[in-house]
A and B are shown apart, each in its own frame.
Chain A
């Protein structure tokens, strides 16, 4: 068979394997998908305000066609972006769309995600009773911790224990979260769990063990290339080194954290590090 004949046969074979095209998206759905995709691109570019506008547009489009799942997804996305922008009130309002509307048939998965996000918001605001309440509601939807957000939920519970001064229980929960995240391949949650575990160990007076765990978290966060988490890891390492009496090492970690803050355009974090360094 000539080369042209072989090529024609290959094309025919591919055509036979191909499936008929799926139905195109309706116009509003296409616009919502487009707005969502643009928002995700803006998030990757670090333009959170622009991303919030796109998610608001996507949410309005989803509401106009009563696409319940898209409404919930965009509301949750909006809560994330608003929190990054420091607008915690707006983030709570966005989550209320899912949490305070029993009439719409939101899926259990979306409700769990919204409750988990609300627990994180309250935890970040140091409102521990509300955070515990929403974490418990999310846990009730996550049967035997087998849901997709189980590791994040375990991490939130671990943080709650840590903030409540129960370091030993926080360490157990963080270890469980780390195991769950590792088995699912969720490297981000694994690093979060290791960070929690290190903090719990540090609270328990095991500075050297804590430093080792923080190093593991830092290695993962380096791979994920998330400056905020790298900054947090370096700061935790500085605390662990200081607790172990190694002032030089602590100073080195603080300087690295300051550099990361400067490079990531976080002047507040850089200033805090500068203050820490002066204090030392």
Chain B
């Protein structure tokens, strides 16, 4: 009898090969998925906290949340609420102890005004305790570039105006500058002549110094002469002073005599004063005796006349 027919096998052990391929492929997909999930933080425990912002411009899902520049979470959810937009931040739980109650979130850019947008956590004081799951923290928007530019423009405008004025003044003064340079050039051209004049002056000064030396010698001779003459003059001066002294003594004697004379005259003066006083009293008494009293009567009422003219206004202007 013949052997059992066996169909030809083009791909022997194909099933095993396919199964092996599928297993490897699944393993690769699982590995890749694990890596992606790990990268996405699916295996990291996260804590949700919330911020409410009046507008969510520039905030998007997945935006990193940073603490001290270090990424600690991301924006996980956003939804409209009556006060604006409720933004949920997924923070890695392991970093939550660094974000105590009283912390604030703010919209910022990583490199000044043009970097990537992030939400930065500004931690509060640790004594306030840890934030709980779902708790809300304050949110503040940083200034946008347009606001910064506007602020800069407002502050820089006066400075630019000053600069403009200064440049205008410089432009005006440049006309004078030409005249100044011309005058300087003229002066510089005259410098050699000045130099020659100075040299002549120095030469003259030398000559004058020689003459001065001769003059000083003459002065020296004169002073020697005075020195010799002084004793004679001093003697004459002493004689004059003696004469003055005797004259003073004579004057003193005369004054003493005059004082004696005045002492003798004093009673006469006193008596004259008393006589005059008596005469004044007699005269006063005589003034008060009739008929002289009528002629020399003191005004009984020394009031100035009360004249109604003092109340009269000046007449008004003359009108035809």
- Which of B37-45, B262-270, B280-288 participates in binding chain A? B280-288
Give A142 to B202 CA distance when docked, in angstroms.
Answer: 104
B178 at the A interface (CB under 8 A): no
B18 at the A interface (CB under 8 A): no
User: Are B318's CB and A124's CB within 8 A?
Assistant: no
> Could you tell me which residues of chain A, from 133 to 159, have a CB within 8 Å of some CB in chain B?
149, 151-153, 155-156, 159
What residues on A are CB-neighbors of B302 within 8 Å? 33, 36-37, 40, 73, 77
B82 at the A interface (CB under 8 A): no
Give A238 to B307 CA distance when docked, in angstroms.
Answer: 24
What residues on B are CB-neighbors of A76 within 8 Å? 303-304, 306
User: Are A83's CB and B310's CB within 8 A?
Assistant: yes
> Could you tell me which residues of chain B, from 258 to 303, have a CB within 8 Å of some CB in chain A?
281, 284-286, 288-291, 293, 298-299, 301-303
User: Are A199's CB and B306's CB within 8 A?
Assistant: no
Which bucket holds chain A's interface residue count? 35 or more
Give A120 to B306 CA distance when docked, in angstroms.
Answer: 9
Give A116 to B320 CA distance when docked, in angstroms.
Answer: 35
Given known contacts A33-B302, A156-B311, what 10 new A-B pairs fall within 8 Å (CB)? A18-B289, A21-B288, A21-B289, A22-B293, A24-B281, A73-B303, A159-B308, A177-B308, A236-B315, A242-B320
Give A1 to B320 CA distance when docked, in angstroms.
Answer: 80
User: Are A21's CB and B285's CB within 8 A?
Assistant: yes
Min CB distance A141 to B, Å, is 13
Which bucket holds chain B's interface residue count? 20 to 34
Give A8 to B276 CA distance when docked, in angstroms.
Answer: 27
A residues adjacent to B (C-beta < 8 A)? 14, 17-22, 24, 33, 36-37, 40, 43, 73, 76-77, 80-81, 83, 113, 116-117, 119-121, 123-124, 126, 131, 149, 151-153, 155-156, 159, 163, 177, 188-189, 192, 195-196, 199, 228-229, 232, 235-236, 238-239, 242-243, 245, 247, 250, 254, 276, 279-280
Give A155 to B309 CA distance when docked, in angstroms.
Answer: 9
User: Are B317's CB and A73's CB within 8 A?
Assistant: no
Min CB distance A65 to B, Å, is 16
15 contacts between A and B (CB under 8 A): A20-B289, A24-B285, A24-B288, A37-B302, A40-B304, A83-B310, A123-B313, A159-B308, A188-B305, A189-B307, A196-B312, A199-B315, A235-B315, A236-B315, A243-B320
Cβ contacts B54-94/A at 8 Å (1 or 0 each): 00000000000000000000000000000000000000000
Query: Given contacts A18-B289, A18-B291, A188-B305, is CB(A124)–CB(B311) below 8 Å?
Result: yes
What residues on B are CB-neighbors of A159 within 8 Å? 308, 311-313
Min CB distance A277 to B, Å, is 9
Chain A: CB-nearest residue to B305: A188
What residues on B are CB-neighbors of A43 within 8 Å? 304
- Which of A14, A24, A80, A177 is B304 in contact with, Cβ under 8 Å? A80
Chain B: CB-nearest residue to A245: B320
Give A77 to B301 CA distance when docked, in angstroms.
Answer: 11
Give A177 to B308 CA distance when docked, in angstroms.
Answer: 11
Query: Given contacts A19-B290, A73-B303, is CB(A80)–CB(B310) below 8 Å?
Result: yes
User: Are B318's CB and A276's CB within 8 A?
Assistant: yes
User: Are A195's CB and B312's CB within 8 A?
Assistant: yes
Give A174 to B20 CA distance when docked, in angstroms.
Answer: 147
User: Are B303's CB and A239's CB within 8 A?
Assistant: no
Min CB distance A243 to B, Å, is 7
User: Are A152's CB and B285's CB within 8 A?
Assistant: no
What residues on A are CB-neighbors of B195 within 8 Å? none
Min CB distance A101 to B, Å, is 18
What residues on A are CB-neighbors of B305 within 8 Å? 188
What residues on A are CB-neighbors of B314 within 8 Å? 232, 235
What residues on A are CB-neighbors of B304 within 8 Å? 40, 43, 76-77, 80-81
User: Are B307's CB and A232's CB within 8 A?
Assistant: no
User: Are A242's CB and B318's CB within 8 A?
Assistant: yes
Most buried by B among A14, A83, A152, A177: A152
User: Are A17's CB and B290's CB within 8 A?
Assistant: yes
